[in-house]
Copies of this chain bind each other. A is one copy, B any other.
C-alpha cells in the first residue's frame, strides 16, 4: 500500500533535460495547486553524475543517482516518471511496473512497435494489481483542450464532420543548423510527424472521442543534408508531414506538421466542425477556446473567445482568479494531479492516455509513413 497516509508518495524522475525540468516543476507545484496526496521528490536520475547532482539541487530533489535500476526499486519510491529519450522507455517502464511501481512515461511510448507491445503487456498486468501506467500527452491537460472535449462530449457540436489539426514550428528553417539525433531515423523514428504531428493526432482523437480507422500520408524532407562534425550528413527523417485521417464516427481530419513553418513558434492548432457548432484552438494562445454555437440566432453567431480561466473550467480550481492566464507549464501540474488521484484511488482507468493509447497512436504514425511509402495509398488500422 504505497499511498498509505503514513508517508508521502515517493517519486523518482529519470531524466533531467527539457522534459525533466518541466516534470520537476509539476511535482514541485501540484500539492500547492490541488488536493492530492502528499508526495516526496525522492530522487532524480541521470547518466552524468555531476550534471544530475546539479539538476537535483536546482530542481529540488532530495537525492540524485546515476543507476536508474537501483533508484526505481527503492522502497520509498512509488511513482517512476520517465523523461528519457524514447529508446529507453520500454526497459525502464517494464522494470518499474514489474517492481510494483506506478509509471508516468513521456511520449512517444517507444520508438519501436515491438517494444511498445511489450510495454502494453506489462501495463495490463500491472493494472490488475492497481498500478497506473500513464502516458504523458500533456496537452490533454491544457484546460482549453479539456474544455473542448467536454463541449463535444456534451453534444454542443452535434455530429463531428471535419477536423483540421496542425502543429507548426520553425526551428529547422536554417539549412545550416547542424545534424542532431532528432534528424536521424534510427534514433528519432520519424521527424516532425512523430515529434509534433503525434500531438495533433492525439488531440483529434482526444477532443472528438473518435478513433482513427484509416490514413493517407505524405512526408517531405526539405533540407536533405545538414552539417555534421565530419561534413554533410543526410537527414533521414521528415521535416514536414501531411495526412488525412478517417475516424470511426464518420469524420475526416487533416493533419499537417512542420518544422519549416517560418514564424510559427509552437502553433498546435485544432479546429473541429460539427453539425451544431465548432471549436478552434491555438497553443500559442492556450488560455483561449473559440467556440461557435450554430444553434444561436444567426445575427449573433460567431466564434466566441472563451478565456478558459473561470472556476467552472477544467483544472481551474487549482489556479488563479479569472483572467490570470496560465502558461504552457501548468498543464504538467494538471497532469500530475490526475496521476496522483488515480494512484490514490488505485483506479488506473481514471487516467488517460494509457500505454494502449500510446501504442494505437504509434500505429497511426506508422500507417502515415507506410502510406507515404505506398505513394499515398490508404492504410487501414
Contact = CB atoms under 8 A, between A and B. Distances in A.
Interface of A: 18, 21-22, 24-25, 28-29, 31-32, 38, 57-60, 147, 151, 157, 161-162, 164, 166, 169-171, 173, 175, 216, 218, 220, 222, 240, 242, 244, 250, 252, 254, 256, 258, 260-267, 271, 273-278, 283-287, 291-294, 297-307, 309-310, 312-313, 320-330, 371, 375-378
9 nearest A-B residue pairs (beta carbon): A266-B323, A265-B323, A327-B327, A376-B376, A263-B292, A324-B328, A262-B278, A304-B304, A302-B306
Nearest to A240: B162
A289 B192 CA distance: 27
A299 B314 CA distance: 10
A271 B328 CA distance: 25
> This chain: how many copies in the complex?
4
13 contacts: A24-B32, A32-B58, A162-B260, A164-B256, A173-B273, A263-B302, A266-B321, A291-B300, A299-B313, A301-B310, A304-B304, A324-B327, A375-B378
Contacts of A31: 58, 60
B161 A222 contact: yes
Contacts of A276: 262
Contact of A300 (B32, B240, B306): B306
Contacts of A326: 327-329
B284 A307 contact: yes
A122 B79 CA distance: 50
B263 A216 contact: no
A34 to B, nearest CB: 9
